[in-house]
Amino acid sequence: MSVDSYTNLSAIAIHGGAGTILRANLTDEKERDIRAKLTESLEAGNVVLEAGGSAVDAVQAAVVVMEESPLFNAGKGAVYTHDGSHEQDACLMDGATRNVGAVAAVKRVRNPILLARLVLDQSTHVLLSGEGAETFATTNGMELVDDQSYFDTEFRYQQLQKAIAREKKENKQHTQLDHSDVEDKIGTVGAVAVDRHGNLAAATSTGGMTNKRHGRIGDTPVVGAGTFADNKTCAVSSTGVGEYIMRAMLAYDIAALMEYKNLTLEEAGHIAVMEKFTELGGDGGVIAIDALGNIAMPFNSSGMYRGWMRADGTSEVKIFKE
Amino acid sequence: MSVDSYTNLSAIAIHGGAGTILRANLTDEKERDIRAKLTESLEAGNVVLEAGGSAVDAVQAAVVVMEESPLFNAGKGAVYTHDGSHEQDACLMDGATRNVGAVAAVKRVRNPILLARLVLDQSTHVLLSGEGAETFATTNGMELVDDQSYFDTEFRYQQLQKAIAREKKENKQHTQLDHSDVEDKIGTVGAVAVDRHGNLAAATSTGGMTNKRHGRIGDTPVVGAGTFADNKTCAVSSTGVGEYIMRAMLAYDIAALMEYKNLTLEEAGHIAVMEKFTELGGDGGVIAIDALGNIAMPFNSSGMYRGWMRADGTSEVKIFKE
């Protein structure tokens, strides 16, 4: 899913998470719902771009749509931590300035990407965490949800119960990551865009891993791992097992391959994800876009909810590999 | 301060922070104390290396010495947050495996680098934060300090009072970073080493920024920003203004320049720190080492506490530019 040599056209690409997504496990109804929501997200971003808006505003708008949906592990559909709460991470990066806003482990923020935007705009800090991040939110006029019940969904609650039961049955140390843990975190959302001025931006938002504890922070709020944007190379949003994405510096690695080896977005994405990240043992993928509007969406898992849309009206939404 | 083409010799380099360090502001006594402590840190790391120990063990030993000293902004000498507490970050990366252990915003850990080591060894997660990280510590047998009084020092307390007074006087928004903020955080500590087997490691530990609030997390615990190690390129520990170090992906950028442009450690360090990081507006520096034992210590501030030591007995400790 890459289209080369588009120019002077705005474009947006999104993901709703990568992992073991098999046709057999996805009902027709759920597949239809997911495709519809991905399309709605793309349209929300594209409206901003078509009106001459910025890439930052576009990726934010696209991510908000997915955060508002219970279908993805971000915002409304965020997974449960071990103690039954929700702790979310988000990051937004402006490729024109390389400014970043990121938040980690926030509990009462309906749209974590909007708090990341507030950090980008109003703080000289890059990464705020926990209660401190929420104090920053209220100080700057953002309303928090009264309690976490807004984020409660039966589907995610059952996921937590299953994860806890599995842990007990297997007498598994919580220090071991296994395939089930990975499956329980599918649904991180992200968007990358180029606006008509050639500015890039990337945004990522996630509820993290079902049954997580110990204040675990994943790749999403980490600049260069889960999220990166620089006008001179590309904008990238990652999804998959955060520990490997961080060790691979996955998002920045694509930019570095373009800048230092003069590779195309497609080539750089392939080497970073399909070769280096895979060799490290990582599982997941990225969406990436460059200033010419080229889009690459490499992933090494069986599926990734994803799509793209251009100002010329062309678009595509896909779930499985083919 | 770089020496080329050493081979088959273990070596270690350390820093105790970069910033506006002027001869005029440093008493002879304090300079002597700092030089002595840097030497002690180098020796602690070198003893491990000479005994055939690993680079990971060596950088950890070197950092512990600086954490135990009130002279640096890490461990015992950690700065105060706005509310009068201490919140520390640390990261340790093994260049042989690219495994990482990192902790953010821990309050009752005497040696944060030892908790980072515990995360490296005992958790499949990379980054643990806050109370969750401390629960992980006690679950794994690490004793915490009873309260934060262990970290209290008169010098740092006065720094906090000055920072608060300055903020009030200037009616400054805490969202503005200025030169004084930067000065108040000098003293992050770090170490990089190559052992006789050619394995690399990097470690960084910090109390962050005086008067910090909002759960601000800096570059130290962020893989690729404050800390990075990969046997095939280099090990790096950064110090300076964390927000810029994160946006620059400073530590990984040096590795990427070596891997993708076939630059030497010296060349890559110069471009990443003296050109790219400086153009971005960043203030600070790094220590870096490669598998051949080459050492580079580029910084763009007026000074950086730093030193290196090799198994052949040669060593150097410096504070100012020349």
Query: How many Cβ atoms are within 10 Å of A124's Cβ, its own excluded?
Result: 16
The whole-number average pLDDT for the span A17-33 is 87
Residue A196 DSSP SS3: coil
Position A76, amino acid: K
CB contact (8 A) between residue B256 and residue A261: no
Predicted confidence (pLDDT) per residue in A86-137, tens digit: 999 999 999 999 999 999 999 999 999 999 999 999 998 999 999 999 999 9
Q: Does the pLDDT at position B147 exceed 50?
A: yes
Active-site annotation holder among A20, A39, A188, A264: A188
Q: Does the pLDDT at position B6 exceed 80?
A: no
Q: Which residue has the higher pLDDT, B4 or B288?
A: B288
Q: Which residue has the higher pLDDT, A308 or A322?
A: A308
CA distance B103 to chain A (A): 9
CB contact (8 A) between residue B217 and residue A104: yes
Show Cβ contacts of residue A299 under 8 Å, excluding neighbours closer than 6 positions. A18, A239, A240, A273, A284, A285, A286
Q: What is the pLDDT of residue A169?
A: 81
Q: Which residue has the higher pLDDT, A209 or A249?
A: A249
Q: Which of B125, B136, B245 would best serve as a mutation to test chain A binding (most A beta carbons within 10 A)? A: B125
The whole-number average pLDDT for the span A226-230 is 98
In DSSP terms, B212 is beta-bridged to B81
Categorise residue B156: left if φ over 0, alpha if ψ from -120 to 50, beta otherwise.
alpha
Q: Does the pLDDT at position A4 exceed 70?
A: no
Predicted confidence (pLDDT) per residue in B88-130, tens digit: 999 999 999 999 999 999 999 999 999 999 999 999 899 999 9
Query: Tokens standing for B27?
Result: 């008493």
Would you give the DSSP letter of residue A73?
S
Banded model confidence at residue B197, pLDDT cuts 50, 70, 90: very high
Query: Half-sphere exposure of residue A166, counting CA atoms within 13 Å on the CB side?
Result: 17
The whole-number average pLDDT for the span A213-219 is 90
The whole-number average pLDDT for the span B303-308 is 96
Are the beta carbons of A92 and A202 closer than 8 angstroms?
yes
Angstrom distance (rounded) from CA A202 to CA A288? 9
Q: Does the pLDDT at position A31 exceed 60?
A: yes
- Report the residue from B223, B247, B280 with minimal CB separation from A249: B223
In DSSP terms, A202 is beta-bridged to A93, A192
Q: Does the pLDDT at position B145 exceed 90?
A: yes
Categorise residue B198: left if φ over 0, alpha if ψ from -120 to 50, beta otherwise.
left
Banded model confidence at residue A151, pLDDT cuts 50, 70, 90: very high
Q: What is the pLDDT of residue B2?
A: 43
Which residue do the tokens 């204040």 mark?
A: A215
Query: How many Cβ atoms are within 10 Å of B74's Cβ, its own excluded?
Result: 32
Q: Which residue has the higher pLDDT, A27 or A112?
A: A112
The whole-number average pLDDT for the span A10-34 is 90
Angstrom distance (rounded) from CA B40 to CA B63? 10
Q: Does the pLDDT at position A312 exceed 90?
A: no
Predicted confidence (pLDDT) per residue in B64-73, tens digit: 999 999 999 9
Q: What is the pLDDT of residue A177?
A: 52
Angstrom distance (rounded) from CA A156 to CA A79? 5
Domains of chain A: 3-320 (3.60.20.30)
Q: Does the pLDDT at position A171 exceed 90?
A: no
CB contact (8 A) between residue A99 and residue B135: no
Give the residue numbers in B contacting A (CB under 8 Å), as ranges. Answer: 98-100, 104-105, 122-133, 135-136, 175-177, 213-218, 222-225, 228, 242-243, 246-247, 249, 252-253, 256-257, 260-261, 280
> Which among B130, B134, B85 is positioned nearest to B109, based on CA atoms?
B134
CB contact (8 A) between residue A136 and residue B225: no
Which residue do the tokens 């309303």 mark?
A: A143
CB contact (8 A) between residue B222 and residue A217: no
| DSSP secondary structure letters along B240-255 | E-HHHHHHHTHHHHHH
Q: Does the pLDDT at position A175 exceed 50?
A: no
Show Cβ contacts of residue A13 under 8 Å, excluding neighbours closer than 6 positions. A191, A192, A193, A287, A288, A289, A295, A297, A306, A307, A308, A309
Angstrom distance (rounded) from CA B103 to CA B135? 12
Q: Does the pLDDT at position A1 exceed 50?
A: no
Q: Which of A83, A100, A115, A127 would best serve as a mutation to test chain B binding (most B beta carbons within 10 A)? A: A127
Q: Does the pLDDT at position A257 exceed 80?
A: yes
pTM of the model: 0.93
**Residue A317 — φ and ψ, nearest 5°?**
-130, 130
CB contact (8 A) between residue A128 and residue B177: no
Q: Does the pLDDT at position A180 exceed 60?
A: no
Q: Which of A19-23, A59-63, B235-239 has the lowest mean pLDDT?
A: A19-23
CB contact (8 A) between residue B257 and residue A260: yes
> Which among A179, A243, A227, A185 is positioned nearest to A209, based on CA atoms?
A185
Q: Does the pLDDT at position A182 exceed 60?
A: no
Q: Which of A107-111, A196-200, B185-189, B263-267 has the lowest mean pLDDT?
A: B185-189
CB contact (8 A) between residue B129 and residue A215: yes
Active-site annotation holder among B81, B188, B220, B233: B188
ipTM summary value: 0.92
- Report the residue from A176, A213, A247 with minimal CB separation from B132: A213
Q: Which chain B residues are Cβ-neighbours of A105 within 8 angstroms?
A: 129-130
> Is A188 one of the annotated active-site residues of the chain?
yes
Banded model confidence at residue B247, pLDDT cuts 50, 70, 90: very high
Q: Does the pLDDT at position B229 exceed 90?
A: yes
CA distance A123 to chain B (A): 5
Helices and strands per DSSP (H, E), number in chain B = 10, 13
